[in-house]
Amino acid sequence: MLEPFELADIKAGLRDGGKILGVFIVARPDSDEGPVFVVYFRTDWTQSRTFRILSRFRTEGVRTYKNLGSLYKTIRSIGYDGRITIYPSGDNALHTFVGVLPEDLGDHPADMVTSEGDKE
């Protein structure tokens, strides 16, 4: 997995004059309480076409949101005012983006991937 973004990384990049080039959300299934949402960002300061997922902290895993409104507010609060597309996990369109995690592509269910990335 590529190094994810933390909110602090994105805010620092924007302060330094960078731009967010794209954002999309993936709705991951969660059988108990409905879907959880993750967000991917593409920026101009990474100088690649790769999207990076938002993490809580680099060593603490992916940042998930249970409330789509809260995620939307977070994205807008950092200054991104472009289009935000929501894809269900496993959507074929996700294969057109570089950097999407296998569990979001539908290659491995999220609950079956260990912290080392091995499928159980």
Least confident of 6-20, 67-81, 99-113: 99-113
pLDDT at residue 56 in the model: 87
- Cβ-based neighbours of 88, under 8 Å, separated by 6 or more: 26, 27
CA distance 102 to 43: 21
Environment class of 42 (CB within 10 Å of its CB; exposed 0-12, middle 13-18, buried 19+): buried
% pLDDT > 90, the chain: 68
**Residue 36, strand partner residues:** 28
pLDDT band at 102, cuts 50/70/90?
Answer: very high
pLDDT at residue 40 in the model: 97
pTM: 0.84
Position 112 pLDDT exceeds 70:
no
List pLDDT tens digits, range 78-101.
999 999 999 999 999 999 999 999
Cα–Cα–Cα angle for 96, 40, 57, nearest 5°? 140
Is residue 21 classed as helix, strand or coil in its secondary structure?
A: strand
pLDDT at residue 87 in the model: 97
